[in-house]
Structure 1
């Protein structure tokens, strides 16, 4: 049986968080623990965590720092990082367990947009799958790994964006980082709000700027200005 810690960064997204915690609690195979690291230090988030018996931890509002905080507190032999607005497949823990049995140090789920979907999703999903094979899958794809591999790879970077890039590269140097066939569903609300192609264009430009060496803090400020 997989001894798994779930770590969820949250920032003023309590409704989605409640949905995710309910899903985790209804799984046939349950995690050892759920740790929610709250960047807003909000009483409403703490109440949601109390309701679903998740551990609430206050943090500064920086996703990379939140993830590092959660990982440092986790007790499981394996770590699973989720976003508060993810929707889960039927047996995600079983899928992760099978990947570890095949010798993987970790992996990630297949990216799928949740409902309501648009036609653009049919083009973007295979493009994202292709990028993940040759580049880096991002945190909304349910990254998971052994605890030992996480710390050996250096953990998340303490950044507000692209915090998983060095981690994934480190994990791939350690061993097999496996893409799963099982899908994890990503809330499309921001794509609907900003426009599917506009948001994709902004995201790609940010990734290119990061690859050129622009500081993540500057990119985060640019991201907020273009998507708010």
Structure 2
């Protein structure tokens, strides 16, 4: 019986982060969970494609845009379960055991990981608590927290929208809070954007964009503001 899990990683000039992201998948290979790793690239001009090839990942190329890249990766996947993971996120070692247990016991539910920033800053701990609380209260984890979902449920809800922004919010709303659980493993994501822009400034900017989206602003409009 084939391994159940296809791991899908959207990339754009991710050569600095991708090797560590791929390395953290080793526990899943050791447990026989991973059938394939798909790197869905949006036109990288660095060594991303070479790294994907050197590590045995399948490279899928298409239009730039995380929503479109995630959808393309899912379209190429062969696994009965899909794990979407950002290239600058590294999973804690126990992730594979938690995912395997979820697949065996809760096939009707999707799952995300607990958010952790790779930073020693006090503001990182503040934002982690805020983000994880939002995720659990509203059923809206960040895309940085990954998404584990069965192919059956993914297709039932229509998959990732080919949206330039808010694709993570849109798919989580389609899944619904009642069909989402959180795994006791960490998604340790890069803090580079927050360290560059300021932790609170970036956090409140993101919250403002989310509020505008919830009030009806179009993703195309928000993407321009985000850039």
TM over 0.5: yes
Alignment of 1:76-87 (within 5 A): 76-87=79-90
Please tell me the root mean square deviation across aligned C-alpha atoms, in Å.
1.8
Normalised TM-score (structure 1) = 0.91
Which stretches of structure 1, 4 residues or more, deviate above 4 A after TM superposition? none
Cα deviations across residues 122-167 of structure 1 (Å, max 9, x unaligned)? 2211111111112211211011110100110111111121102232
- State the match for 2:10 in structure 1: 9
What are the ranges of 5 or more consecutive residues in structure 1 without an aligned counterpart? none
Contact 2:15/2:51 (<8 A) preserved: yes
> Contact 2:112–2:146 (CA<8 Å) still a contact in 1?
yes
TM-score by structure 2 length?
A: 0.91
Pairing of 1:130-149 with structure 2 (within 5 A) = 130-135=133-138, 136-149=140-153
Task: Measure the CA separation in 1 of the matches of 2:206 and 2:44.
Answer: 27
Q: Pairwise mapping of residues 153-168 of structure 1 onto structure 2 (< 5 A)? A: 153-168=157-172
Distance in structure 2 (CA, Å) of the matches to 1:182 and 1:43? 31
Partner of 2:218: 215
Q: Deviations over 1:176-227 (max 9, x none)?
A: 3111121110110111000111100110011011111111111111111xxx
Specify whether residues 89 and 206 from structure 1 end up closer, same or farther in structure 2 by C-alpha distance, changes over 3 A only.
Answer: same
Unmatched 5+ stretches in structure 2: none
Report the number of matched residues. 222
